[in-house]
Chain A
Amino acid sequence: MTTTTEKRFDNAQEIIKYIDALKAKKEKKLQKKSIYVCVGTGCTASGSRKVYAKFVDVIKQKGLDVAIEKIDDDDEPVKRTGCCGLCSLGPLVKVMPSGITYSHVTVDDVEEIVEKTLVNGESIERLLLTDPISHQKVERLEDATFFKNQTFYIMNEIGKSECESIEDYMARGGYLSLAKVLSMDRKEIIEIIKASGLRGRGGGGFPTGLKWEAAYNSKGDIKYIVCNADEGDPGAFMNRTLLERDPHSVLEGMIIAAYAIGAQEGYAYIRAEYPIAVEMFNKAIESAKEYGLLGDNILGTDFSLDIHVKEGAGAFVCGEETALLSSIEGKRGTPRPRPPFPAQAGLWGKPTLINNVETYGNVAKILRDGVESYRTRGVQKSPGTKMFSVTGPLNLTGIIEVQFGTTLRYILENICGGTSNGRRIKAIQIGGPSGACLPEELFDLPLDYDTLKSVGAMVGSGGIVAITDDRCMVEVARFFLDFTKRESCGKCVPCREGTMQAYNILEKFTQGKATYEDLETLEYVSEIVRTASLCGLGKTAPNPIVSTLKYFKEEYIEHIEGKCPSGMCTAFKKYIISPEKCKSCSLCARSCPNGAISGERGKPYVIDQDKCVKCGLCVTKCKFGAIELVG
Chain B
Amino acid sequence: MLTRSFDKVEDILEKYGYRKEMLIKILLEIQHEYRHIPREVVNYIGVALGIPPAKIYGVITFYSQFSLNPKGEYTIMICDGTACHMEGSMNLVKVIEEEIGIRPGEVTQDLKFSLDKVGCLGACALAPAMVINGEVYGKLTPDKVREILRNIKERKAE
Contact = CB atoms under 8 A, between A and B. Distances in A.
Contact of B118 (A42, A273, A480): A273
A327 B81 contact: no
B123 A392 contact: no
A45 B129 contact: yes
B86 interface: yes
Interface stretch (B5-13, B62-70, B107-115, B150-158): B62-70
B100 interface: no
A138 B28 CA distance: 45
B33 to A, nearest CB: 15
Contacts of A331: 23, 55, 59
Contacts of A44: 136
A310 interface: yes
Interface in B101-152: 118-127, 129, 134, 136-138
B92 to A, nearest CB: 13
Contacts of A41: 121-123, 136
B126 A272 contact: no
A422 interface: no
A290 B29 CA distance: 27
A347 B80 CA distance: 32
B80 A272 contact: no
Nearest to A399: B125
Given A330-B20, A391-B125, A467 B86 contact: yes
A329 B134 CA distance: 27
B25 interface: yes
Contacts of A391: 82-83, 124-125, 127
A480 B124 CA distance: 16
Interface string A75-115: 00000000000111010000000000000000000000000
Nearest to B23: A330
Contacts of A46: 126, 138
Contact of B123 (A87, A233, A467): A87
B127 A315 contact: no
Nearest to A275: B134
A429 B25 CA distance: 34
B125 A327 contact: no
B96 interface: no
A239 to B, nearest CB: 9
Given A240-B122, A333-B62, A235 B81 contact: yes
A432 B58 contact: no
A83 to B, nearest CB: 9
Interface string B35-69: 00000000000000000000100110011111000
B124 A389 contact: yes
Contacts, number: 120
A392 B59 CA distance: 35
Contacts of A232: 119
B63 A235 contact: no
Nearest to A277: B122
Interface string A300-341: 000000000011111110000000000111111100000000
Contact of B82 (A42, A275, A398, A479): A479
Interface residues of B, number: 38
A465 interface: yes
B148 to A, nearest CB: 13
Given A46-B138, A235-B120, A316-B119, A479 B125 contact: no
Contacts of A398: 125
A88 B125 CA distance: 5
Nearest to A466: B86
A234 B129 contact: no
A235 B136 contact: no
Interface string A374-401: 0000000000000001011000011000
Given A313-B27, A313-B65, A332-B62, A45 B136 contact: yes
Interface string A222-236: 000000000011111
A237 B129 CA distance: 14
B64 A313 contact: yes
Contact of B28 (A272, A329, A333): A272
Interface in A324-363: 327-333
Contacts of B59: 330-332
A479 B129 CA distance: 17
Nearest to A332: B62
A483 interface: yes
A426 interface: no
A204 B125 CA distance: 26
Contacts of A432: 82
B126 A87 contact: yes
A234 B125 contact: no
Nearest to A328: B21
Given A45-B126, A332-B58, A314 B86 contact: no
A153 interface: no
A274 interface: yes
B138 A429 contact: no
A311 B120 contact: no
A397 B118 contact: no
A328 B118 CA distance: 22
Contacts of A328: 21
Contacts of A479: 82, 85
28 contacts: A41-B136, A42-B126, A44-B136, A45-B136, A86-B125, A88-B125, A90-B125, A234-B119, A235-B81, A235-B83, A236-B82, A237-B124, A273-B118, A275-B134, A310-B24, A327-B24, A328-B21, A330-B20, A330-B23, A332-B58, A332-B62, A333-B63, A391-B125, A391-B127, A392-B83, A398-B125, A471-B86, A476-B86
Given A86-B125, A310-B24, A389-B124, 15 more contacts: A41-B123, A45-B123, A90-B125, A90-B126, A233-B82, A235-B120, A272-B28, A314-B63, A315-B64, A330-B24, A332-B62, A333-B62, A398-B125, A463-B82, A479-B85
Q: 10 smallest A-B Cβ distances: which pairs?
A: A235-B82, A234-B119, A313-B63, A45-B136, A314-B64, A87-B125, A234-B81, A330-B23, A237-B122, A391-B83
